[in-house]
Amino acid sequence: MPLSLLAERPAGNYPVGMGMCNYPGCRRESWPSSQDGSCFFHCDDNGSREDDARKLWDEARRLASEGGCDFVGWHFPECPDRTGFEGCELSGADFSGAVFQDANFTGSRFAGPARFDGADFRGSAFFGQACWSGSASFRQVKFETLAGFDDARFESSAAFDAASFQTTANFAEARFDGQATFTGAAFGGLANFDHCTFTSVRFGQATFNLATFRSACFGEEAYFRQARFVQGDFRHAIFRDCEFSGVVVEDELIFSPPSPPLPFVPARPFRPSEHGEVPYRLAKQAAQARGDYRSAGEYHYAEQCAIESARRSHAQWRPWRGDFWNRHTNILWCWFEFLLARALFGYGERPARVLLAGMVVVVLWAGMFYAFQGMGPGELTGGDLACCRVTFPECLHFSVVTFTTVGYGDFKPKPSCRFLADSEAVLGAALMAMFVVALTRKYMR
Ligand SMILES: [Zn+2]
């Protein structure tokens, strides 16, 4: 960081008024009033007299209007007339490592890429209504008081990675047309993103104190993985694709229930849900946040159904392609999932279905044993396997014993019907395991 180099250099190394500015890469003469041998623009007490400050701002605006916008490491004192860069046209401005006592970029236009990496805004920073045609880079910037980006427009990418906003960050009604990244950014005060329009935004590992995203619109990806919130308000926000895994919430995260209220189960099981899965996911998160786990479970079921039916409607029977076992295009797999995971198991939300399926299997198999006379008394009871006809209650008893894999040995399958008994034992073990899992999921939240 060039700025810290400047601070660490011992005073008196560069005698006043002799030689060049000690800021790396600066070719200006050092300023006679400077304590540490830096030039007028890099000196941190260049604003102690008002005419000095005026002179510096005039020069800065002149440079900006000429298009030579290298302000790396500059020290901007308070602007005497408070205008700063208000309404300025800046092309390819580089403010990396600059220190602003006071920054006003209201309504300015950044035609080329603008870099503010590592800049330090000690007073309030106004970027309201500024328009950025090129990329905007605010990596590791420190905003010590208000950062106002309300109504700003970022036509290209905007990077605020690891930026630190110590009080209010106001991005209300800002518009991000390109990718916006706030990875690891820290919002100490209110983070206001109300009515903000994002294309694709990444807030991974960002920390929020109080964040409001009311009526914000997330056009593509909204990535909040491992972000930390004390309180987050997403009422009426519109999501297309969101990722909230690993989010830590200290107080609460508010999602408005989608309106009109979502049905728990997508209306027609054989058609993809008209809502898609995202509203169900948000409704689930909202229900979890308010501790309504029963509704959360129902929304989880609806979300999984929506995912499953969308996948099934995209699946095609194309065994001649190399992707026969590709789960996204294989219709066989989709129907297998539909029958087993959704209809039978209910994504872990329907233990009664599994229980019912178990009973059906027991009775059905008993009927088959009876019809084929596929069993007889075993050696334990001293009976002969082929001696006599078995009754239906005996078949039912044998079916239950096989299903539950108990195996008393009082009855035995005939060798020709062993596969029947074996298949029932396998089904029984699987269904009982599924029943336990579904029951646990439903009641142990
Ligand atoms: Zn200099």
377 CA → ligand 1 middle, Å: 102
pLDDT band of 319, cuts 50, 70, 90: low
Domain(s) labelled CATH 1.10.287.70 in the chain stretch across 354-443
The pLDDT value recorded for residue 96 is 93
Q: pLDDT higher for 353 or 290?
A: 353
53 CA → ligand 1 middle, Å: 16
Reported CATH class of domain 73-256? mainly beta
State the CATH architecture for 354-443: Orthogonal Bundle (1.10)
66 CA → ligand 1 middle, Å: 19
Q: SS3 letters for 82-117?
A: CCCCCCCEECCCECCCCEECCEECCCCEECCCEECC
**Nearest Cα to 132, choosing from 176, 96, 171, 100?**
176
Q: What percent of the chain lies above the pLDDT cut of 70? A: 88
119 CA → ligand 1 middle, Å: 16
153 CA → ligand 1 middle, Å: 32
Average pLDDT over residues 181-210: 95
**CB distance 136 to 160 below 8 Å:** no
Confidence check: pLDDT of 15 > 60:
no
Confidence check: pLDDT of 94 > 70:
yes
289-293, 307-311, 336-340, 353-357 — which one is most confidently predicted on average?
353-357
The per-residue pLDDT for range 259-273, each reduced to its tens digit, is 566 777 776 777 766
- Give me the residue label for tokens 């970022």: 154
199 CA → ligand 1 middle, Å: 39
7 CA → ligand 1 middle, Å: 13
pTM value?
0.65
**CB distance 199 to 220 below 8 Å:** yes
Average pLDDT over residues 165-179: 94
Average pLDDT over residues 93-113: 91
27 CA → ligand 1 middle, Å: 7
> Residue 190 in 3-state DSSP?
strand
**CB distance 375 to 413 below 8 Å:** yes
- Give me the residue label for tokens 């328009």: 131
The pLDDT value recorded for residue 382 is 65
User: How far is residue 72 CA from its own chain's centroid?
Assistant: 34
Alpha-carbon gap, residue 121 to 85, rounded angstroms: 14
Domain(s) labelled CATH 2.160.20 in the chain stretch across 73-256
Does an H or E element contain 164, and which? strand 164-165
Confidence check: pLDDT of 16 > 60:
no
Write down the mean pLDDT value for the chain. Answer: 84
**Residue 252 identity (one-letter amino acid):** E
The per-residue pLDDT for range 399-430, each reduced to its tens digit, is 999 999 888 888 888 888 899 999 999 999 99
